[in-house]
A = this chain, B = another copy of it.
């Protein structure tokens, strides 16, 4: 399912036009992103936690040529599913 299809569903269940449903959805994701930029984590009970994880610089390898490569440190958004979410898929 892609964003367009998701918006179509939400349009129905939220009783909004597709344009409004998309606007609503975008506001929510942007709010989460902004929070991650400033704060460091966003916890949503029953769903999961978004966190910014710092990754150290390290040595990698180009699998095509085999040569070693220096990989810079970076940051990545991680999602940790809540307990309830795990149970849904493991009952």
Identical copies of this chain, number: 2
Residue in contact with A74 in the complex, picked from B43, B78, B90, CB distance below 8 Å: B90
Chain A 1-27 per-residue mask, 1 if CB under 8 angstroms from chain B, else 0: 111001001100110000000001101
A interface bracket (residues with beta carbon within 8 Å of B)? 35 or more
The distance from the CB of A64 to the nearest CB of chain B, in whole angstroms, is 20
Residue of B nearest to A9 (CB): B31
> What B residues does A25 contact at CB under 8 A?
28
> What B residues does A85 contact at CB under 8 A?
33, 77
> What B residues does A35 contact at CB under 8 A?
1, 6, 9
Residues of A participating in the B interface, judged by any CB pair closer than 8 Å: 1-3, 6, 9-10, 13-14, 24-25, 27-29, 31-33, 35-37, 39-48, 50, 52, 74-79, 81, 85-86, 88-90
A sample of 16 cross-chain residue pairs with beta-carbon separation below 8 angstroms, ordered by A number, consists of A1-B42, A2-B43, A6-B31, A6-B32, A10-B31, A13-B27, A24-B24, A29-B47, A48-B77, A48-B79, A50-B79, A74-B89, A74-B90, A76-B81, A77-B79, A78-B79
